[in-house]
Amino acid sequence: MAVTDAGPATEVAKRPSRLFKNLASKIAAVPMVLVALVIFVGCTIWTIYHSFTRSRLLPAPEKWVGLDNYERLWGENRWLISIENLAIYGFCSLTLSLTIGFVLAALLDRKIRFENTIRTIILYPFALSFVVTGLAWQWILNPQLGLQNVVRSWGWESFAFDPLNNAEIVIFGILIAGIWQGSGFVMVLLLAGMRGIDEDIWKASRVEGIPAWKTYIFIVIPMMRPVFVTAIVIIASGIIKVYDLVVAQTSGGPGIASEVPAKYVIEKMFFSQNLGLGFAASTMMLLSVLVVLIPWAYLEFGGKKNG
């Protein structure tokens, strides 16, 4: 480095204490740290603890019952149907909204006219609350008001499309609404990711004569991995939480055919006055998320240290 001409060096500068380095930002981080610790970690532990008690309307930490709540939960038909619905809804919603979102993004990425307008229209459903979406689709799928009626009025008298009143397929009726709401957002996310890809990559693949669909599948999608991870995390958290859509569209019906775990938890906690069972169900939801998340996080972040 340059030789300084600042007189004879008198004293060696002391290294300042690490504790006070960036003090302002440390202070600013305190509320967030507290929220994370108390609300996320603390309340989770509190919930898990109380799921082992016979809490009814109020938490009753002293009435320890062990695994009773869990036994009851897994013996209950309604919970099993909820889990099954969530699995169907989750799998279909994840694959379909990613596929549809990606296809829409790829179409918009082809430098078309009115891109901004189309993007806004497709993103609009995302601005609606699930309750509004659910109600709108309840009307659209209602045989007397909606799609079935319209098609019949065109002359196809035998047309029947009534998913919300058919216990076998009701979850797919909810799925349609969920995808309608969610794929616009996926599209915008993926479109942003596509725009981040170097124009020269496309030129190179054109010079090499690689068709556009192959370029997307073998080159662009692998390059968009981080964006896909973000999209999947956001979609997946939406899937686990799905509640208001069901309430607005079917209220869990017909019968209990369209129940979902989040609805089960809310109802046990606030309507049936069975906190212990509700907590047990929500603990099971947390567990199922962790079962997916931990191996993924291990692959994603654990591998980095080694290579």
Partner 1 sequence: MGNTTTHADIEFEMPAASKQSVSVSVKDLDLRFGSLQVLKNLNLDIHEGEFLVLLGSSGCGKSTLLNCIAGLLEISDGQIFIKGRNVTWEEPSERGIGMVFQSYALYPQMTVEGNMSFGLKNAGLPKSEISERVSRASEILQIEPLMKRKPAALSGGQRQRVAIGRALVRDVDVFLFDEPLSNLDAKLRADLRVELKQLHQRIENTMIYVTHDQVEAMTLADRIAIMKDGIIQQLASPDEIYSKPANLYVADFIGSPAMNLLKGVVANGTFTAHGVSVPLSGYDFEKPFEGPAWFGIRPEHVAIGDAANASDTQLTVKAEVVDPLGSDTLVMARLSDERFWLRISGQSKVKIGDELKIGFSAVDASLFDQSTEIRL
CA atoms of 243 and 69, how far apart (whole Å): 22
| Among 36, 87, 204, 294, interactor with partner 1 by CB under 8 A | 204
The nearer residue to partner 1, 62 or 198, going by C-beta atoms, is 198
Q: How far apart are CA 270 and CA 45, in angstroms?
A: 20
Indicate the residue among 21 and 225 with the shorter CB distance to partner 1. 225
DSSP string of 220-234, one letter each residue: IHHHTHHHHHHHHHH
Residue from 24, 208, 271, 291 touching partner 1 (CB under 8 A): that is 208
Least distance CB 200 / partner 1 (angstroms): 4
Figure out which of the listed residues 21, 63, 195, 214 binds partner 1, where binding follows CB under 8 A. 214
As measured in angstroms, the least distance from the Cβ of 211 to partner 1 is 8
What is residue 64's three-state secondary structure?
strand
Residue 200 binds partner 1 (CB under 8 A): yes
Q: Which is nearer to partner 1, 138 or 205 (CB)?
A: 205
Amino acid at 122: I
Using CB under 8 A as the criterion, what x/- string covers residues 140-159 for binding partner 1?
--------------------
Task: Please say which residue, 157 or 198, places its beta carbon nearer to partner 1.
Answer: 198
Name the segment binding partner 1 (CB under 8 A); options: 80-88, 98-106, 130-138, 202-210.
Answer: 202-210
SS3 53: strand
Distance CA 276, CA 253 (A): 25
Strand partners, 53: 64
CA distances from 301 to 78, 95, 254, 297, 305 (A): 37, 24, 44, 6, 8
Q: How far is the CB of 307 from partner 1 (least distance, A)?
A: 11
If the CB atoms of residues 226 and 255 are measured against partner 1, the closer one turns out to be 226
> Which C-beta is closer to partner 1: that of 66 or that of 209?
209
| Rounded distance between C-alpha atoms, residue 270 and residue 95, angstroms | 33
Out of 35, 36, 150, 201, the residue judged to bind partner 1 by CB under 8 A: 201
C-alpha separations of 86 from 41, 57, 83, 257 in Å: 25, 27, 5, 12
11 binds partner 1 (CB under 8 A): no
Q: Alpha-carbon torsion 63, 69, 70, 72, what sign?
A: positive
Please identify which residue in 64, 74, 156, 218 interacts with partner 1, judged by CB under 8 A: 218
> 23 with 37: CB under 8 angstroms?
no
Residues that bind partner 1 (CB under 8 A): 198, 200-201, 203-211, 214, 218-219, 222-223
